[in-house]
Amino acid sequence: MSPLVREGEAIFRQNCTACHLPGSTEVKFGPGLKGLFQQDRMASTGGPVTEEAVRRQIQTPAKMMPPFPSFTPEQMDALIAYLKSL
């Protein structure tokens, strides 16, 4: 696992595991995120799964997810790298 992915995993554990499962597609409170970047559509919006769409969902989410606008660009890059590894 690369250092960037490890950093993203730590960010995910701190901020996302209360609602999302990283190793499953099962719903916890939000959708499971295993294979997110291999899917055609995002569960939350129905839009295509792209880095830009995932970043937007994290910062200004659709539905009931709380926003995370304070992530730095570096933290967001790490989180995206981790999500891509799932």
Can you list the positions of beta strands (E) in the chain?
Answer: none
Tokens 């499971």, residue? 32
* Residue type for position 37: F
The DSSP secondary-structure symbol of 65 reads P
Each residue's pLDDT, cut to its tens digit, for the chain (86 residues) gives 999 999 999 999 999 999 999 999 999 999 999 999 999 999 889 999 999 999 999 999 988 899 999 999 999 999 999 999 99
> Per-domain residue ranges for the chain?
3-85
Task: Specify the CATH number for 3-85; select among 3.40.190.10, 2.60.40.420, 3.40.50.1100, 3.40.50.10860.
Answer: 2.60.40.420
The partner residues of 41 in beta bridges, in order of sequence, read 48
